[in-house]
Amino acid sequence: MSAPLATAVPMFRPGYRMQWEPVQDCHVLLYPEGMVKLNDSAAEVLKRVDGKRSVNEIIAELQACFPSAPELDEDVLAFIGEAHENHWIRFR
């Protein structure tokens, strides 16, 4: 686990927000240029991105909710890294 990323606090970039979209029957990430349909795993991670919880705290919460998921921390770190690379989130 990358220490700087693990202690970072992710937040959505301005103009980005997540919501349940009944028509799509899934959570989506909305932004000025469009929309990204999220799978259940991505939605579970992004539901916890609030600008207050660190990546470590998000991982701990997900591990408590899904104790049978092996190597959850690696998957969450990878997804948060991708979300950052896609400019969906930033860190404070």
Reported pTM: 0.92
pLDDT (tens digit, 9 = 90+) per residue, 51-92? Answer: 999 999 999 999 999 999 988 999 999 999 999 999 999 998
Q: Give the number of domains in the chain.
A: 1
Confidence of residue 1 (pLDDT cuts 50, 70, 90): very low
Residue 10 lies in a domain: yes
**For the chain, what is the HEC assignment?**
CCHHHHHCCEEECCCCEEEEECCCCEEEEEECCEEEECCHHHHHHHCCCCCCCCHHHHHHHHHHHCCCCCCHHHHHHHHHHHHHHCCCEEEC
Residue 91 lies in a domain: no
pLDDT (tens digit, 9 = 90+) per residue, 15-60? Answer: 999 999 999 999 999 999 999 999 999 999 999 999 999 999 999 9
Residue 92 lies in a domain: no
Range of the domain at 59: 3-86
